[in-house]
Amino acid sequence: MLYKIVRNEQIGPDYFLLEVFAPHNYNRVRPGNFFHFKLSSQGFDPLLRRPLSIHDVNYQKKRWVFLYRVVGRGTSILADFKEGTEVDILGPLGNSFTLTQNKEVTLLGGGMGIAPIYYLLKQIYKDCRVNVFIGAKSKNEFMYLYNKISELGVAVNYATIDGSSGFKGTVLDIWKSKGSRGDYLYSCGPEPMLKEIQKIATKRNMIGEFSLEERMGCGIGVCLSCVCQTKSGNKRVCKEGPVFSLEEVVFND
């Protein structure tokens, strides 16, 4: 289905904020859902769509909001799309995070895993005590998100690899330095990070969920290009995921 781009603005080094007008189904999105963008205006180049996690929903203006980073040809093409451009988008796709209430929860976002954290936070911060941890290479990569979270009145624990702001190290480093926090853990980030979180959470007897980042072909569970191993057999990240319980996924050594 075609949707009109109403904003595609660079907000940091290689980081862009994309807003799409979705007047008829803007309110169908749940935290953790993703969308599949067709970036070839003519023909099939590039052939595969690109998945983007939902970052926020502007209910007043009926817009989906996406935060993405330019990392290759596909996202470079997306960054060149101008306001008013119509883009073919499938979604919302995949499952979503379980929303908790009356608990102390921890949110961990590393790299582009910071993108889906914000919409999840907006759904739970009024009903829970929330600890937010985000990490990036430098402060310029997450200042937009830091400011948005701060506007909600939620404190942010942040780390930078280069030490340009906050804790020097990774988001895992600052989380581990704070000790065990919360009844429930949400996380999104690269696989090595999630693998380490799984180990630490198991030792701390923590439960929760994380969202896997994975390359996808069709986005609807047909091509089987995004299969991951779980304790109950192979599952498709695009269909049964991208959100899985902390203990469910089996990572390769």
Q: Interhelix angle for 143-151 vs 117-124, to 10°?
A: 10
Task: Report how far residue 119's alpha carbon sits from residue 32's, in angstroms, rounded to the nearest whole number.
Answer: 8
- Tell whether residue 170 is among the known ligand binding residues: no
- Tell whether residue 153 is among the known ligand binding residues: no
- Tell whether residue 49 is among the known ligand binding residues: no
Task: Report how far residue 150's alpha carbon sits from residue 182's, in angstroms, rounded to the nearest whole number.
Answer: 20
Task: Provide the H-helix boundaries in 32-180.
Answer: 73-79, 117-124, 143-151, 171-178
- Tell whether residue 2 is among the known ligand binding residues: no
- Tell whether residue 218 is among the known ligand binding residues: yes
Q: If DSSP codes are grouped into helix, strand and coil, which group holds residue 52?
A: strand
- Tell whether residue 202 is among the known ligand binding residues: no
- Tell whether residue 179 is among the known ligand binding residues: no
Say whether the peptide bond before residue 13 is cis (omega within 30 degrees of 0). no
- Tell whether residue 120 is among the known ligand binding residues: no
- Tell whether residue 128 is among the known ligand binding residues: no
Tokens of 159: 């780390």
- Tell whether residue 109 is among the known ligand binding residues: no
- Tell whether residue 121 is among the known ligand binding residues: no
Largest CA distance in the chain: 52
Q: Could you tell me which residues are annotated as the binding site for FAD?
A: 50-53, 67-69, 74-75
Q: Could you tell me which residues are annotated as the binding site for [2Fe-2S] cluster?
A: 218, 223, 226, 238
Q: Could you tell me which residues are annotated as the binding site?
A: 50-53, 67-69, 74-75, 218, 223, 226, 238
